[in-house]
């Protein structure tokens, strides 16, 4: 940072994956000043993917999967202030205001506030009768409802809803899943792969109600009743909604930062204030692989990669973020992995990986590989998806026949 004063204090608002990773990356990059992580929750930063998986299904009482132990925080000189909500950002004074009245000064600030669960806007959808999943405490509350023989209604056929359905069946609860769209995972994966996921859920005993709206939710004694647009009435012991997430942008909005489907950042993850950056689920950013299309990604890998990239930019780095988007979901004995953006594809070719696994390659109009979607046992798809991710990053225009032919190694295409 030639000609600029060296920063002495870095503050990270948000104690999730992106914030924790950024704090560590600052130290790993040699920053010797103060690093402070501020989080609403009293817990230290913890992993969120297990909340819809192991935290609900393991026999033992769940424990948060902490990212940073007390020893690791001490070793790297990182201060974590849990349960300390930030109420305002004073850009002129370079200060953040805490709910308890304390003010902390920053030289560079990272907003990594993540997202909150989108709430149902339906008659009768009160906090008392609809549960959501975003935090460890919410996972514990959900777990207590997933009892053998209990009838659980899940609203939403995206990743969270489906993972919750699989977890509920693993605990021998009866499950009805309701989705407004005509198929599962409508915004996330191609129809052919979504059909495989749907069939696996039905084989596990999940009752799917697709292309179905909800009129209202009513009390049914000590139970709940969901009235569908078809006229069907579903009586259940618990309702869980997984209908997406909303970026946490309140602090940024009040501070006058630009908003565009999240906190708007440039390729360096910098906001319209040069000393404030944003990372993870709360921000949208231009992606050079897709013509600088502005994306907001709710994914564990993106949060990690954003944390690393933001730390470098906070220290004066000029590199644009261009990691290939990557998502995954575990449901029963199947793993779903997606690299890139499938909706950027205009043509799809399929490679049969055997053992019930398939890999779909999505090609743009000019033949460039822009995404890959795979489903099957994890051991059958992980390596090929990783190679596909590398091909996407290299902007390869592969021969279609080579993508289909399993005798042609993807690693060879990468070398070529």
Domain total of the chain: 3
Whether residues 308 and 368 fall in one domain = no
Q: What is the pLDDT of residues 338-395, one digit of tens each?
A: 999 999 999 999 999 999 999 999 999 999 999 999 999 878 999 999 999 999 999 9
Rounded mean pLDDT, 169-198 = 95
pLDDT at 240 exceeding the cut of 90: yes
Whether residues 25 and 129 fall in one domain = no
How far the first Cα of the chain sits from its last, in Å, is 38
Domain boundary among 285, 314, 343: 314
Q: Is residue 306 part of a domain?
A: yes
Whether residues 108 and 250 fall in one domain = yes
Whether residues 125 and 100 fall in one domain = no
Whether residues 297 and 148 fall in one domain = no
Length of the chain: 416
Query: Tokens standing for 173?
Result: 């609860």
Nearest to 153 by CA among 127, 201, 161: 161
Q: Sorting pLDDT into bands at 50, 70 and 90, what band is 416?
A: low
Rounded mean pLDDT, 91-117 = 97
Q: Is residue 1 part of a domain?
A: no
pLDDT value, residue 2: 42
Rounded mean pLDDT, 188-210 = 95
Q: Is residue 110 part of a domain?
A: yes
pLDDT value, residue 370: 98
Burial class for 339, CB neighbours closer than 10 Å (0-12, 13-18, 19+):
buried
Q: 359: domain CATH number? A: 3.30.390.30
pLDDT value, residue 3: 44
Query: Tokens standing for 93?
Result: 């004074």
CA 146 to CA 239: how far, in whole Å? 11
Q: Is residue 189 part of a domain?
A: yes
Q: Sorting pLDDT into bands at 50, 70 and 90, what band is 247?
A: very high
Whether residues 234 and 279 fall in one domain = no
Q: What is the pLDDT of residues 25-52, one digit of tens each?
A: 999 999 999 999 999 999 999 999 999 9
Whether residues 201 and 131 fall in one domain = yes
Rounded mean pLDDT, 261-289 = 98
Q: Is residue 319 part of a domain?
A: no
Report CA-CA distances (Å) from 283 to 40, 102, 106, 404.
Answer: 18, 26, 20, 36
Q: 66: domain CATH number? A: 3.50.50.60
Whether residues 212 and 284 fall in one domain = no
Whether residues 124 and 239 fall in one domain = yes
Residue span of the structural domain in which 231 resides: 119-243
Q: Is residue 328 part of a domain?
A: no
Whether residues 236 and 124 fall in one domain = yes
Q: Is residue 353 part of a domain?
A: yes
Whether residues 110 and 125 fall in one domain = no
The answer to whether residues 130 and 216 touch, using CB atoms and an 8 Å cutoff, is no
pTM here? 0.95
Domain boundary among 243, 258, 286: 243
Q: Is residue 171 part of a domain?
A: yes
Whether residues 125 and 154 fall in one domain = yes
């Amino acid at each position: 940072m030639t000609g600029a004063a060296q920063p002495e204090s870095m503050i990270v608002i948000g104690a999730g994956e992106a914030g924790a990773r950024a704090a560590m990356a600052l130290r790993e990059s040699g920053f010797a000043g103060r690093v402070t992580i501020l989080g609403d929750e009293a817990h230290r930063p913890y992993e969120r993917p297990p909340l819809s998986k192991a935290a609900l299904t393991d026999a033992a009482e769940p424990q948060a999967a902490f990212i940073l132990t007390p020893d690791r925080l001490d070793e790297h000189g990182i201060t974590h202030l849990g349960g300390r909500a930030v109420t305002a950002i004073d850009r002129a004074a370079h200060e953040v205001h805490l709910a308890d009245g304390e003010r902390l000064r920053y030289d560079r600030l990272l907003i990594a506030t993540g997202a909150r669960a989108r709430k149902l806007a339906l008659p009768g959808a009160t906090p008392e009768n609809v549960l959501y999943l975003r935090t460890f405490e919410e996972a514990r509350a959900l777990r207590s409802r997933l009892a053998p023989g209990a009838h659980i209604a899940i609203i939403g056929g995206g990743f969270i809803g489906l993972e919750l359905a699989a977890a509920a069946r693993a605990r021998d609860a009866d499950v009805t899943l309701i989705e407004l769209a005509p198929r599962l995972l409508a915004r996330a994966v191609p129809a052919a792969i979504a059909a495989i996921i749907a069939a696996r859920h039905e084989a596990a005993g999940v009752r799917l109600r697709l292309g179905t709206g909800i009129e209202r939710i009513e009390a049914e004694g000590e139970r709940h009743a969901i009235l569908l647009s078809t006229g069907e009435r579903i009586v259940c012991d618990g309702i869980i909604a997984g209908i997406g997430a909303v970026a946490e942008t309140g602090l940024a909005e009040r501070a006058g930062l630009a908003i565009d489907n999240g906190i708007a950042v440039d390729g360096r993850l910098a906001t319209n204030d040069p000393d404030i950056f944003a990372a993870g689920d709360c921000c949208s950013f231009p992606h050079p692989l897709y013509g600088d299309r502005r994306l907001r990604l709710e994914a564990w890998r993106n949060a990690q990669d954003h944390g690393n990239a933001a730390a470098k930019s906070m220290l004066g780095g000029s590199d644009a973020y261009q990691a290939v988007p990557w998502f995954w979901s575990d449901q029963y004995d199947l793993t779903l992995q997606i690299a890139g953006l499938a909706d950027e594809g205009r043509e799809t070719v399929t490679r049969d990986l055997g053992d019930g696994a398939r890999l779909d390659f999505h090609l743009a109009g000019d033949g460039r590989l822009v995404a890959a979607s795979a489903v099957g046992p994890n051991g059958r798809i992980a390596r090929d998806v990783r190679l596909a991710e590398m091909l996407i990053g290299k902007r390869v225009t592969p021969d279609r026949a080579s993508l289909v032919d399993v005798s042609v190694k993807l690693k060879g295409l990468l070398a070529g």
